[in-house]
């Protein structure tokens, strides 16, 4: 991480800030460290969810490919247009 990179966050809630301070003390970490960990974990979960969605889309595409007898998408579209 680049030194001097800073953000300002308005938590909008004094109780949330108090809970974060307590958690930092309990874990022996700074609020900065807790914030970085929380953001990293959030990004990891987000990327894992996107990976899961991509895998699901690939499986759906494979199932469609098998369902259509392994035909090209363009051929399926052309046949559907003929039926319309």
pTM exceeding 0.75: no
What pLDDT does 2 receive?
A: 59
Task: Please provide the average confidence, as pLDDT, over all residues in the chain.
Answer: 89
Domain chopping of the chain, boundaries: 14-83
More confident residue, 25 or 75: 25
Q: Residue 4 has which token pair?
A: 């001097």
What pLDDT does 78 receive?
A: 93
CA–CA distance from 14 to each of 7, 20, 38, 39, 51 (Å)?
A: 18, 10, 19, 20, 36
Q: How confident is the model at residue 33 (pLDDT cuts 50, 70, 90)?
A: very high
Q: How confident is the model at residue 62 (pLDDT cuts 50, 70, 90)?
A: confident
Q: What angle do CA 53, 56, 57 make, to 5 degrees?
A: 85
């Amino acid at each position: 991480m680049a030194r001097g990179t800073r953000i300002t966050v308005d938590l909008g809630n004094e109780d949330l800030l108090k809970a974060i301070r307590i958690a930092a003390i309990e874990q022996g970490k700074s609020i900065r460290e807790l914030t970085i960990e929380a953001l990293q974990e959030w990004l990891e979960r987000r990327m894992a969810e996107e990976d899961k969605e991509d895998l699901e889309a690939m499986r759906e595409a494979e199932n469609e490919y098998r369902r259509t007898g392994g035909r090209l998408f363009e051929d399926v579209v052309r046949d559907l247009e003929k039926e319309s």
